[in-house]
Copies of this chain bind each other. A is one copy, B any other.
Amino acid sequence: MKHGGDLLSYQHKFEGQIIDFSSNINPLGYPSGLKQVIIDNFDKLIEYPDINYRSLKKIVAAYLGCDDDNVIVGNGAVDIIDNISGGFDRIVVPVPCFGEYIDRPKLHNKQVIMLPMLEDFIIDVIKIEQTLISGDLLILGNPNNPTGKRIDKEVLIALHSLVIERCAFLLIDEAFFEFCKFDYDSIELFRHSEAVCIIRAATKFFALPGIRLGYGFTSKTMTIKYNKKAIPWNINTFADTAAANILRDNEFISRSKEYIRKQRSFMMTELKKIKEIHSYDTHCNFILIKLLKGSEEDIFEFLLSKGIMIRKASSFEMLDTSYIRIAIKSENENMKLIGCLEEYFLKEF
């Protein structure tokens, strides 16, 4: 499994509804007003979306706190990763990371240099310093998938300075930004930078992986390049329409943050009681787990037999079969997973 969420490939192994802990989606679902907005605007489908997405960019700009012409939009975050990374010859990326930081540039015949993280999945800044040269693209997940770690403000500022010094470019993927405790806003930090692009998306926090809405902040120079590169009408009308509803739903946003905060705390406390695993501290709505006994395949199959799908993590660069990744879901689902994990380790070892 290269990505989470591939329920269809495993459904035959369990009778009934599988609980999907493999994809990291807000357990509260999408904002409740969305359905009516889509129904009310259904007939917009018979027209092309605005090829310049003027209204969408205005709404995203207000949400991100930047100018309209600093906003880029994509068919999901991966479209933005693809369009930006395709413009550089050499990509530098700390691993483990989201697989598409590696796969998309490779598809465009670019060189990808992977720098293993240090213990506890800390970015190896010295290694980046030794590696980064003029014209490179440095890609950072912030927070990073699958490790769940947000980059310290000082470290990010230092890396940005290094990027400027080396005449390189920095792509920061913040698809999970809203799940984190607010510490700093990278858009605020790098508002005037010519060398940064910051990706966010509706996919995870607004629980809309199906709608395909990614967006980002970058310099006005880069938005012009990006708009040429992106295919015309890359955002569908529903995604275009949805933004005005979801990005302004402050009640949903604060309720989701609070819910995840509580459940994350509950999950970490419970997981730390299981001595056969090491659960890495996370800023996110997902948790990377090191299995001290057994392998991803065993536990995957056991949990599947219980109607739970987790993410085997060996498909991430640098991780072996002793890692799994789980999402933080609803209270009941989380309790069910904890119960099943306890049962697994009691039974198997």
Contact = CB atoms under 8 A, between A and B. Distances in A.
A47 B20 CA distance: 9
Contacts of A107: 228-229
A231 B39 CA distance: 28
**Quick one: copies of this chain in the complex?**
2
A59 interface: no
A234 B229 CA distance: 16
A104 B231 contact: yes
Which 5 pairs, one residue from A and one from B, show the smallest C-beta to C-beta distance? A210-B237, A5-B48, A45-B210, A48-B209, A212-B236
Contacts of A240: 210
A35 interface: yes
B51 A210 contact: no
Given A35-B42, A51-B6, A212 B229 contact: no
A69 to B, nearest CB: 16
B47 A210 contact: yes
Interface string A51-78: 1001000000000000000000001101
Interface in A1-56: 3-8, 20, 23, 25, 29-30, 35, 38-39, 42-51, 54
A207 interface: yes
A46 B25 contact: yes
A100 interface: yes
Contacts of A45: 30, 207-211
A5 B46 CA distance: 10
Interface string A253-277: 0000000000000000000000000
A296 to B, nearest CB: 20
24 contacts: A3-B48, A3-B232, A5-B51, A23-B48, A25-B46, A25-B47, A29-B46, A30-B45, A38-B38, A38-B42, A45-B208, A46-B208, A46-B209, A46-B210, A76-B233, A78-B232, A79-B234, A104-B231, A209-B233, A210-B238, A210-B240, A211-B237, A212-B234, A212-B236
B232 A47 contact: no
Most chain B beta carbons < 10 A, residue from A209, A228, A231, A237: A231
A23 to B, nearest CB: 6
Interface of A: 3-8, 20, 23, 25, 29-30, 35, 38-39, 42-51, 54, 75-76, 78-79, 82, 100, 104, 107, 207-212, 228-229, 231-234, 236-240
A9 B4 CA distance: 41
A138 to B, nearest CB: 21
Contacts of A29: 43, 46
A349 to B, nearest CB: 33
A80 to B, nearest CB: 10
A100 B210 contact: no
A20 to B, nearest CB: 7
Nearest to A241: B210
Contacts of A239: 236
Contacts of A44: 210
A236 B5 CA distance: 15
Contacts of A48: 3-6, 23, 209-210
Given A8-B54, A210-B238, A236-B238, A231 B46 contact: no
A82 B42 contact: no
A79 to B, nearest CB: 6
